[in-house]
Structures are given as structure tokens and as C-alpha cells.
């Protein structure tokens, strides 16, 4: 049986009423909160941050030792985090547009690429391209017309000149009518700039996973252990039963992409789309062996980990393993059972911090004071 959480909105501003309306389906459905389930607390914009949910302090088992887990998710280890506020959803196109309008910020994808920044992500000795080839743009999922070798990701990704958060698939594409979709084609640097403007910060990897789990210890998904409870899809991911990955020919149903933020039910803390829809940047450097390093510290509980001090990713032959990479979490609309089973709370990947992509977005956290009141 589905269980829901009590929703407490601290105050009543327009923003908080909107959030309450989205979450209110739980009450209208007449479903009772499960005993001991987390209490959803949404900020009101007066005494607490608007559009954010309170994630209480606590301990959890980070990572996974399940059969679905990749080596970089192992071993599971006990972690403690402090309480914090987290954005209810990904930052949306409308929200990012406001930031750009107020600051005049130019994103990484809209600037001419810097060869020295690119070079460190390439095999040593790679020749510098002609200057006129270094044009603004970003990585775009283009798919294939038919089945392909799933080890050859370059068959379905392209660097597209002119692609940016305004034109996620390149010239001719648009975010018109998609103001409530997650903003994508933003780099780690872009996220940092937005966070400074918003007065927030990026979550650590530990904070992100703790929040994503929503109080469910070691559940396979953020909603439980069953992929489709009662036959319902619970996140935006690639359904390999409907089309083979990465086929996007008209006969296969065309291209796929993001859905509006908040399309699916929230998790135990009231957070939407913690997995699926778009990957999310977190603050940590990426090391493939970081969880193993943590497990060797000999501590019963690791307190508020901030991530490693450097990067290490040996997964790409020829590319220096110490090339700078940051962690992304949560998976995206491209994840699927045949290729990338990353719509799980423990799944993690490395990403070039200066390389925007059409399936990577973000959400932020705040260290504002904890809620003043909690309903009994």
C-alpha cells in the first residue's frame, strides 16, 4: 500500500501555497501517513526558504552492496549529515532565466572554449584544433536511427555548436513552453554562479544521497524497492520496453527529453525528481574509489563528509585518470535497464565540470536555520 507523508507548510505566501497545492493531492486522496514516516516541511519564504523542503539531520547507510550496484557505489558505509533545506525540484528554465536577466551571466556553453581546459580531459598528445573550430556549444544527445554498439557512446552524443541552456539541442531548438522543465546545458561553474546569486550552495554527495533516500534505508529506488508499484512509472527514465536505447528514429517514437519538474510523486522529504529527468551536479570531486577509501577510515560513522581532495577516474582508456571530474547524481531521461541503471539513489558518475550536457541540471541547498515548529 502506498504511504504518504504529512505536509507542513510554515506560513502562507503565494509560493508556499503553490507548493502546498502540488503536494495536496496526498490529502485529497485520503491516504493516511504511515506511522514513523518523515514529516514533509516546506519553507514559506518568510521564516524559512521558499520552494525548499527541510531535510532533518541524521545517519544513513551511504552507497550500496546490492547486485545492481556498480563498483564505485561500494561498499555501503555509515554517514551522518547535518540538517539542511533543499530545493523541492531541479532549478527550472524560468528560474535560470531570471538569474541571467538580473546578472547578465554568460554560461560556459555560450563562451568560446578554452583549449587548456579541454586538453586535460583528452589523451596526452592530442593536437590542438584550429582556432576557428573552438566555437561555443555543448554536448547534445542525438540518438541513433537503429541499434548500435552500446560501448560506443559517441554514436549518440555530438558536440553541437550553438547548443546552450536556451537551445538545449542546438540551433532551432527552444525552451519555449518549457519554463517549468529542469534547466540543462549548465556546467559546474554555471551552477556555482547561480548558487552565489541565489544565496545557496551545492549539496555534498552525502547530503544529496541522504535527501534522495527520503528516510528509506537502502531502498533500491527513492520510492521503495519496486520499480513500478501498482504498474505506475515513478520517474522519467528511458523505457527500454518501449524502444531500444538509444534509438530515436520516427518509427521508434522520436526523441526523448525532460518532463516538467514535479511530474511524479515526491519522496519522503517532499523532494521531487531526485532520480530521473536530469542528472544533478553535486559539490564533490569524483573518485571511483572514494567509497572504498571512506570504508577504510575505521570509523563507525563518518561525520558530514565533504568529498575527496582530488579526482580519479580510470574508466576512459587513454584519458588521464586524474583529469578533473565532479560527481553527478540521480540519472536522467536517458537511463535505462539496458545501459544506465542510474535512477537509483546510490548511483554516481563522473563529469567534466566545464562540459555542459543536454541531460544534466542541478538543485541547491541552504543552511538557513531549521524550522521553528513541527506539527505533533
CA nearest to 166, candidates 79, 116, 81, 96 = 96
Q: What is the pLDDT of residue 16?
A: 33
> Is 172 within a domain?
yes
100-119, pLDDT tens digit by residue? Answer: 999 999 999 999 999 999 99
Question: 360 near 349, Cβ under 8 Å?
Answer: no
Between CA 109 and CA 118, with CA 115 as vertex, the angle to 5 degrees is: 70
Task: Judge whether residue 28 has pLDDT over 80.
Answer: no
Strand order in the sheet with 360-361: 348-351, 326-329, 279-285, 360-361
State the pairing for strand pair 77-81/302-303: parallel
Between CA 284 and CA 293, with CA 288 as vertex, the angle to 5 degrees is: 80
267-285, pLDDT tens digit by residue? Answer: 999 999 999 999 999 999 9
Please tell me the distance from the alpha carbon of residue 329 to that of residue 365, in angstroms, as a whole number: 15
> Is 47 within a domain?
no
Q: What is the pLDDT of residue 336?
A: 85
pTM more than 0.75:
yes
Q: Identify any residues that bridge with 4 across adjacent strands, giving them in sequence order.
A: 33
Please tell me the distance from the alpha carbon of residue 273 to that of residue 236, in angstroms, as a whole number: 8
Question: 334 near 134, Cβ under 8 Å?
Answer: no
The alpha carbon torsion through 349, 227, 79, 316 (nearest 10 deg) reads -10
> Is 115 within a domain?
yes
> Is 190 within a domain?
yes
Q: What is the average pLDDT across 313-337?
A: 94
Task: Judge whether residue 307 has pLDDT over 70.
Answer: yes
> Is 371 within a domain?
no
CATH classification at residue 180: 3.90.1580.10
Q: How many CA atoms lie within 13 A of 291 on its CB side?
A: 25
Altogether, the residues listed in the chain come to a count of 376
Task: Judge whether residue 323 has pLDDT over 70.
Answer: yes
Q: What is the pLDDT of residue 23?
A: 38
Please tell me the distance from the alpha carbon of residue 184 to that of residue 359, in angstroms, as a whole number: 6
Alpha carbon 172 to its chain's center: 26
CA nearest to 79, candidates 195, 185, 217, 176 = 217
> Is 28 within a domain?
no
- Residue-wise DSSP of 12-65: --HHHHHHHHHHTHHHHTTPPBPTTPPPEEE--SSSS-TTEEEE--EEEEES--
> Is 1 within a domain?
no
170-213, pLDDT tens digit by residue? Answer: 999 999 999 999 999 999 999 999 999 999 999 999 999 999 99
CA nearest to 244, candidates 168, 156, 348, 347 = 156
Question: 256 near 281, Cβ under 8 Å?
Answer: no
Residue with cell 519564504: 45
Expressed as residue numbers, the domain containing 273 is: 58-366
Q: What is the pLDDT of residue 251?
A: 55
> Is 6 within a domain?
no
Question: 73 near 348, Cβ under 8 Å?
Answer: yes
As for how many domains the chain has, the answer is 1
Task: Judge whether residue 247 has pLDDT over 90.
Answer: no
Amino acid at each position: 500500500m502506498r504511504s504518504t507523508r504529512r505536509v507542513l507548510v510554515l506560513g502562507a505566501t503565494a509560493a508556499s501555497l503553490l507548493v502546498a497545492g502540488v503536494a495536496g493531492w496526498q490529502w485529497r486522496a485520503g491516504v493516511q501517513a504511515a506511522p514513523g514516516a518523515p514529516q514533509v516541511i516546506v519553507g514559506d519564504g518568510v521564516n524559512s526558504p521558499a520552494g525548499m523542503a527541510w531535510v532533518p539531520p541524521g545517519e544513513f547507510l551511504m552507497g550500496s552492496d546490492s547486485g545492481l550496484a556498480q563498483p564505485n557505489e561500494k561498499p555501503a558505509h555509515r554517514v551522518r549529515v547535518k540538517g539542511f533545506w533543499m530545493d523541492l525540484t531541479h532549478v527550472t528554465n524560468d528560474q535560470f532565466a531570471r538569474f541571467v536577466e538580473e546578472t547578465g551571466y554568460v554560461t560556459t556553453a555560450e563562451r568560446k572554449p578554452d583549449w587548456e581546459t579541454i586538453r586535460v580531459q583528452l589523451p596526452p598528445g592530442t593536437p590542438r584544433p584550429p582556432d576557428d573550430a573552438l566555437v561555443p556549444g555543448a554536448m547534445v544527445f542525438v540518438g541513433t536511427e537503429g541499434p548500435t554498439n552500446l560501448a560506443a557512446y559517441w554514436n549518440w552524443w555530438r558536440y553541437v555548436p550553438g547548443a546552450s541552456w536556451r537551445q538545449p539541442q542546438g540551433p532551432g531548438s527552444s525552451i519555449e513552453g518549457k519554463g517549468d522543465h529542469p534547466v540543462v546545458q549548465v556546467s559546474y561553474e554555471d551552477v556555482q554562479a547561480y548558487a552565489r546569486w541565489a544565496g545557496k550552495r551545492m549539496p555534498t554527495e552525502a547530503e544529496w544521497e541522504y535527501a534522495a533516500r527520503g528516510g528509506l534505508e537502502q531502498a533500491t529506488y527513492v520510492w521503495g524497492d519496486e520499480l513500478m508499484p501498482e504498474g505506475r512509472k515513478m520517474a522519467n527514465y528511458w523505457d527500454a520496453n518501449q524502444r531500444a536505447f538509444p534509438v530515436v528514429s520516427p518509427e521508434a517514437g522520436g526523441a526523448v527529453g525532460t518532463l516538467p519538474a514535479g511530474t511524479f510523486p515526491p519522496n519522503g522529504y517532499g523532494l521531487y525528481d531526485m532520480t530521473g529527468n536530469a542528472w544533478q551536479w553535486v559539490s564533490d570531486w569524483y573518485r571511483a574509489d572514494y567509497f572504498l577509501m571512506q570504508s577504510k577510515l575505521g570509523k563507525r560513522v563518518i561525520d558530514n563528509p565533504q568529498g575527496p581532495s582530488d579526482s580519479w577516474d580510470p574508466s576512459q582508456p587513454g584519458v588521464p585518470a586524474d583529469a578533473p571530474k565532479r560527481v553527478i547524481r540521480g540519472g536522467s531521461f536517458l537511463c535505462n535497464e539496458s545501459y544506465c541503471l542510474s535512477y537509483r539513489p546510490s548511483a554516481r558518475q563522473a563529469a567534466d565540470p566545464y562540459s555542459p550536457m543536454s541531460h544534466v541540471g542541478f538543485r541547491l541547498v541552504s543552511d538557513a536555520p531549521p524550522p521553528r515548529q513541527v506539527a505533533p
